[in-house]
């Protein structure tokens, strides 16, 4: 909490790094709250951007926030519902306001996030994900990151339940196989290197005598 207040003060003083730190800290919190409400991560990401750009522009006049987390979530939800209403689909959305601001519990996804631990491994995995065909990659993001259910993915993409399931299963297989293959090829290379070193040592020895 203390840290939040520091970041907030930093923002008010126009410290860009602290402002970005605040953004990074709350990005996923807001994203997952937003995705739960409207199942459209693209739109939610836009609104998070707009919210933070607004804060940055108004940094000199914004108030002290007693509870930064609640403040961000509340303003975010307000913006989300306003934009949502504009898009004329308000019938679909009944935002339960009160459940968030009074509830400083991290959401399940936040608990999963390990900030930059073993980031090289994530990078490796991300490279593999990027090598997947677009459709598979998209479905894997919807399922494993944005957390949509199969039913919701079916509605979103117009694909059949079976196709979605098969493509995700297929994609997962490729991801894992690729990583295993990668480890294999690396150990194969190591083995080769050891062989070369061993034979070099043998040659050196024979020359000596």
Partner 1 sequence: MNDDKMTIEELLSDESFINYCKRISPDDIAVWENYIKKNPDRALLIEDAKEQYVQLFNALALADLDEQTARLENSLEQKESTPVVQMEKFEKEKRGKVLPLLLKITAAAIIVAGLFVTINYFVGGRDNRKTYAAVYGERKNIQLPDGSVVTLNAGSNIKINENYGTTTRDVYLEGEAFFEVKHDITRPFIVHTPAMDVKALGTAFNVKAYLNEKNTETSLISGLVEVTLKENNNLKMLLYPNQKIEWQNGNTNAVNSNLTKANKDTHLTDSLPKKLVVTSTGDIKEIAWKENKLMFDDEEFHNIAILLERWYGAKINFKDTAICHYRFTGTYEKEDLNTVLDYLKESKHFNYTIEHGETLTINLSK
Nearer to partner 1, 95 or 179 (CB): 179
Q: How far is the CB of 172 from partner 1 (least distance, A)?
A: 4
Q: How far is the CB of 93 from partner 1 (least distance, A)?
A: 19
Q: How far is the CB of 127 from partner 1 (least distance, A)?
A: 9
Q: Rule CB under 8 A: which residues touch partner 1?
A: 16, 20, 23-24, 27-28, 31, 45, 48-49, 52-53, 56-57, 86, 108-109, 111-114, 116, 119, 121-123, 125-126, 129, 140-141, 143-145, 147, 149-150, 165, 168-169, 172-173, 175-176
Nearer to partner 1, 149 or 187 (CB): 149
Q: How far is the CB of 146 from partner 1 (least distance, A)?
A: 9
Q: How far is the CB of 117 from partner 1 (least distance, A)?
A: 8
Nearer to partner 1, 126 or 194 (CB): 126
Q: What is the DSSP string of the chain?
A: -HHHHHHHHHHHTT-HHHHHHHHHHHHHHHHHHHHHHHS-HHHHHHHHHHHHHHHHHTTTTPPPPSSHHHHHHHHHHHHHHHHHHHTT-GGG-----TTTTT--PPPHHHHH--TTTTHHHHHHHHHHHHHS-HHHHHHHIIIIIS---HHHHHHHH---HHHHHHHHHHHHHHHHHHHHHHHHHHHHHHHHHHHHHHHHHHHHHHHH-
Nearer to partner 1, 169 or 200 (CB): 169
């Amino acid at each position: 909490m203390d840290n939040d207040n520091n970041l907030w003060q930093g923002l008010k003083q126009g410290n860009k790094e602290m402002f970005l730190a605040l953004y990074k800290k709350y990005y996923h919190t807001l994203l997952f709250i937003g995705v739960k409400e409207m199942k459209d991560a693209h739109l939610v990401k836009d609104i998070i951007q707009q919210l933070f750009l607004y804060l940055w522009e108004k940094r000199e006049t914004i108030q002290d926030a007693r509870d930064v987390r609640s403040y961000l979530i509340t303003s975010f939800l307000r913006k989300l519902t306003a934009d949502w209403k504009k898009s004329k689909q308000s019938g679909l959305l009944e935002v339960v306001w009160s459940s968030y601001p009074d509830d400083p519990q991290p959401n399940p996804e936040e608990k999963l996030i390990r900030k930059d631990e073993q980031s090289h491994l994530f990078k490796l995995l991300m490279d593999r994900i990027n090598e997947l065909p677009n459709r598979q990659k998209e479905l894997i993001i919807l399922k494993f990151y944005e957390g949509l259910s199969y039913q919701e993915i079916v509605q979103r993409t117009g694909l059949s339940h079976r196709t979605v399931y098969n493509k995700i299963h297929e994609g997962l297989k490729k991801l894992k196989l690729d990583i295993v293959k990668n480890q294999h090829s690396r150990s194969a290379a190591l083995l080769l290197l050891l062989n070369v070193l061993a034979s070099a040592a043998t040659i050196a020895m024979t020359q000596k005598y």
